[in-house]
Structure 1
Amino acid sequence: MTDFEYLTMSQAMKMTGRSKRTIDRWIKDGHLHSVDLGGYDGTIMSRDEVANVEKRMRDNQSATRSREDSSAAT
């Protein structure tokens, strides 16, 4: 059996440096799965999934900036 570590919304915000609004958007857009237990901090999610989504979003931002910089230089 695999053990999972879960984060509350506040913990996910602290770990990623992202706002509640951003993490809520990741959940709404299907990038991140969560369970709502009620209340402000009642949403829990997998620590590994939060880390993976944050990295993917950061990598996408970097790639977008690189393409924009290349386009502006030409």
Structure 2
Amino acid sequence: MTKITISRIETNIGTFRISGIMALTSLMFISVDILGSDGWEALIVDPQTQWHKTLMAACEVHLAEQQNITKA
């Protein structure tokens, strides 16, 4: 398992920062913050919410792109 941090990732529903754990076939969020008008606000990590699904997909794309960059 590898600890990961994404300091800023933009999606169609907002801007997030995340920390998590990545295994070979899975990604688990430890903490998720959304950028609000007053700064970063912590969210409760609930896999049943739509933002969780959207953010998970965005993180998977981001991490795959980062992996391709480091291989090049």
Q: Classify the TM-score, shorter chain.
A: 0.3 to 0.5
Q: TM-score, normalised by structure 1?
A: 0.40
Higher relative contact order (CA 8 A, sep 6+): 1
| TM-score in terms of structure 2 length | 0.41
Rg (Cα) greater in structure: 1
